[in-house]
Structure 1
Amino acid sequence: MGLITRAVPPPPLYDLLAVPEDEAVAGAELAMKDNATTGLFTGQVFTLENVTLSEDEDPAEAARKLADDGIRLIIANLAAADLLKVADAVKDKGVVVFNVGASDDDLRGEKCRADVFHIAPSRAMLTDALAQFLAVKRWSKLFLVVGPNAGDQLYAEALRRSAKKFGLKIVADKPWTFGPLARDRSDSITRSDALVFSRGVDADVIVVADEANDFGNYIPFRTFEPRLVVGTQGLTASTWHPAQDAWGSAQLQSRFLRNSNRVMRPADYQAWLAARMVGEAATRTRSADPDVIAKYLRAPDFNIAAFKGVPLSIRPWDQQVRQPLLIAQPLGIVGVAPEEGFLHQRTPLDTLGADERETKCRLN
């Protein structure tokens, strides 16, 4: 397998939320060790070729080089635009791509590709998970605060759809205009303005759309009225969390910690899952042929155990992995979505994200 990722730029200041240099890579490497254990009994050998791109390097060229070297299974921990470049560069080379980094909904919609499997959750899945939790708690009045970045706008769009889907009401929808106060970690003169920002809004919770961590962590306990904070900060939805220890996952957490000397992050889990899916398919089919592996993953009876309490599978209409999502505060798990009571004709997991009748994806 190959793995393509971008080099993590060094933070300008000491950063509590700095992304590890080996994010995703460490998860894939652990999965390859897991695959190798099974390979001892099946006569299969699993190797990983890691390509870390600098800021100006072309991901399409990197993907073509991997394909020319005979690698037909590529994990991509990349932004949406780079992911599409990779998929389109190798679409005629029989390569299967696993998206572990991009949550953009249009990658599962009008920009979907038949040779791309999505391990990372879509934004719609993330916001649906939070909306289900809020609906169960009956915290139905939302104050949405939206950052200036493109990802913030996309997250906010997904949140608005989720609120409508699950009967929640957005009572205020405001842009954040006070700059990156959380990243600056300063008591600037705008602090009083930011505090007054929320005054007079009758809301149960503040929902923050701040994917860059610029201001979301500044809001808790600085509002005029007492307000819970959810969204990209505060109470969040994700595939993985350091506090996750149910369903045997403590052993995965421990092995990752021993292997990498840090806690497992969502991107690590997603890369681990992608490599384990390939390992499972290769073991079951006794084949390394990417077409055989992709066909096995697309089969209606495919599933894989992944420390989530239920088997994970793949949605045939957009090739998104369906899986439970963890609802967590910084140091603890609060809930798991889908919540009890949210039903679906196939599986409750399909209450998260775009359903088959809603999809704009046309796989060719």
Structure 2
Amino acid sequence: MASTRVARPAPHVLLAGAILFLGAVLLALPAPAADAFNPAQTSGKKVNEVEIGYLKKVTRPTTLPASRLDKEPEDIGLAGADTALRENNSAGQFLGDHYSVKEKRVGPDDDAVAGLQELLDQGIRYVIVDAPADDLLALADATKDKEVLLFNVRAPETELRQEQCRDNVLHVAPDRFMLADALAQYLIAEEWTDWLLVAGPTKGDQAYAAAIERAAERFGGNIVDRRNYKDIPGRDRDDIGTIPGPSQGAAEGDDVASYDVIVVADEGRAWSPYAPYRGDALRPVVGTAGLMPESWHGAHSKWGARQLNNHFEEEHSRIMLPVDYHAYIAARSVGEAITRNRNADFDTIRDFIHSDKFQLNGFKGIKHTYRAWDGQFRQPILLVTDNVVVSVSPQPGFPHPSAPDVLVDTLGIDQDETRCEIYETAKQ
């Protein structure tokens, strides 16, 4: 990916149309709640019950967040799927379709595959999976010869879309490469080209840092130094989050003037929320704290997002979080595909979601689809602080080399880079 910037109009104001308007209209309708479906409104048609599974693998956190306010709500994800039922049933009440969600929680020491089988035994074929990468792969392999489609709403590992891709898994959650690319484009657009990278000790932290390094090389960033944050036990210490000194081998005299921003890689947010305020690092902090790349934010208000956030808050008395948004998109994907393919079998529905005929309003200014080469949901990424949305990537000036009108594919793995052999085989 060349780093040359070419002035182009922002993609979000050029995209549009009817599908976004339709989605906003459906969202605004006073649709019945999922448990208030009225069969009489189907005009005598036989009701087609569509039950969507939600498999939640409860995990033991390896690190605790720095703030108790970062604790995830008990209903995270499931609440997003529930909100999607509003729109699914808005159309379904006229077509004879009724949508509901069935949750299955699996404990840390329990078998996720056995939990999935319980859902399948009830006739469920579309399952939202909120689980770590290894469990997601086990679920995909256990159902590879079955009529089952899984939606990944949690795991960010790029390998799941590449060497470890599965054709029965669609990824709504963005991978780390997409997040890093979105951040890098913004930094380069703002001419903040010199970065100090500080990475935490966990496997996820190191993977996030590697994604940042890839993005820097891809778009023209310069990592002047990489430092490792070493956590010390004691959550109430006054030095948590202090940026470490120059790494061994750094240039003599390295100081705050040597870089424009500090990029922190701390996926568990165990220390990075303190980073902007402790130590002598007087530069903007970005990454997992400060300015952060996220798929969704409660302050997002463009392209009909205000309505979605308002509805969610009315129904669940809290803001919509990224995993909620992912589950919302997964459930809406099922509803949209079934609505567009009346009385179709599973194979037709699955193939339609994979095809370029499928389009969904994701309230981020484009017609959302899934990438044919790795099953990743195409989506712009929001650049946010705790309270506001600062920008949206892809940024103007980073054209897609083979498809100038699909700028969103400058985020993450592009088609000519894919290492997903299943999709490569299917294209031949």
TM-score between both structures, scaled by the size of structure 2: 0.80
Q: How far apart are 1:252 and its partner, in Å? A: 0.6
Q: Distance in 2 between matches of 1:357 and 1:277?
A: 26
Which blocks of at least 5 consecutive residues in structure 1 are unaligned? none
Equivalent pair of 2:229/2:243 in contact (CA under 8 Å): no
* Residue 419 (structure 2) pairs with residue 360 (structure 1): yes
Match of 1:100 in 2: 153
Match of 1:318 in 2: 374
Match of 2:238 in 1: 187
CA separation of 1:258 and 1:73: change in aligned 2, threshold 3 A: same
* Residue 146 (structure 2) pairs with residue 90 (structure 1): no
- Deviations along 1:304-332, one digit per CA (max 9) or x if unpaired, are 11111111111100011111110011111
Q: Find 2:188's aligned residue among 109, 132, 135.
A: 135
Q: Find 1:245's aligned residue among 275, 282, 301.
A: 301
Q: How far apart are 1:12 and its partner, in Å? A: 9.8
Q: How far apart are 1:160 and its partner, in Å? A: 0.6
Which blocks of at least 5 consecutive residues in structure 2 are unaligned? 1-51, 247-253
For these two proteins, the number of residue pairs brought into alignment is: 359
CA separation of 1:203 and 1:92: change in aligned 2, threshold 3 A: same
Equivalent pair of 2:243/2:281 in contact (CA under 8 Å): no
Match of 1:24 in 2: 77
Question: How well do the aligned residues superpose, as a CA RMSD in angstroms?
Answer: 1.9
CA separation of 1:196 and 1:100: change in aligned 2, threshold 3 A: closer
- Deviations along 1:269-328, one digit per CA (max 9) or x if unpaired, are 000001001100000001363322111112223211111111111110001111111001
Q: Distance in 2 between matches of 1:54 and 1:206?
A: 38
Match of 1:197 in 2: 245
Write the letter of the residue equivalent to 1:320. Q
Q: Distance in 2 between matches of 1:67 and 1:167?
A: 48
Write the letter of the residue equivalent to 1:362. E
* Residue 103 (structure 2) pairs with residue 55 (structure 1): no
Matches within 5 A, 1:129-168: 129-168=182-221
* Residue 301 (structure 2) pairs with residue 301 (structure 1): no
Match of 2:6 in 1: none
What secondary structure does 1:330 align onto? coil
- From the CA coordinates, give the structure whose radius of gyration is larger: 2
What secondary structure does 2:205 align onto? helix
Q: Distance in 2 between matches of 1:200 and 1:12?
A: 29
* Residue 228 (structure 2) pairs with residue 169 (structure 1): no
Further displaced range: 53-62 or 129-138: 53-62
* Residue 338 (structure 2) pairs with residue 263 (structure 1): no
Match of 2:90 in 1: 37
- Deviations along 1:198-230, one digit per CA (max 9) or x if unpaired, are 672511111011001111112102231411100
What secondary structure does 2:300 align onto? coil
Match of 1:349 in 2: 408
TM-score between both structures, scaled by the size of structure 1: 0.94
Write the letter of the residue equivalent to 2:245. F
Match of 1:210 in 2: 266
Q: Distance in 2 between matches of 1:196 and 1:276?
A: 45
- Deviations along 1:230-253, one digit per CA (max 9) or x if unpaired, are 001111111100110111111111
What secondary structure does 2:127 align onto? strand
* Residue 287 (structure 2) pairs with residue 231 (structure 1): yes
Q: Distance in 2 between matches of 1:146 and 1:16?
A: 23
Write the letter of the residue equivalent to 2:417. E
Match of 1:15 in 2: 68
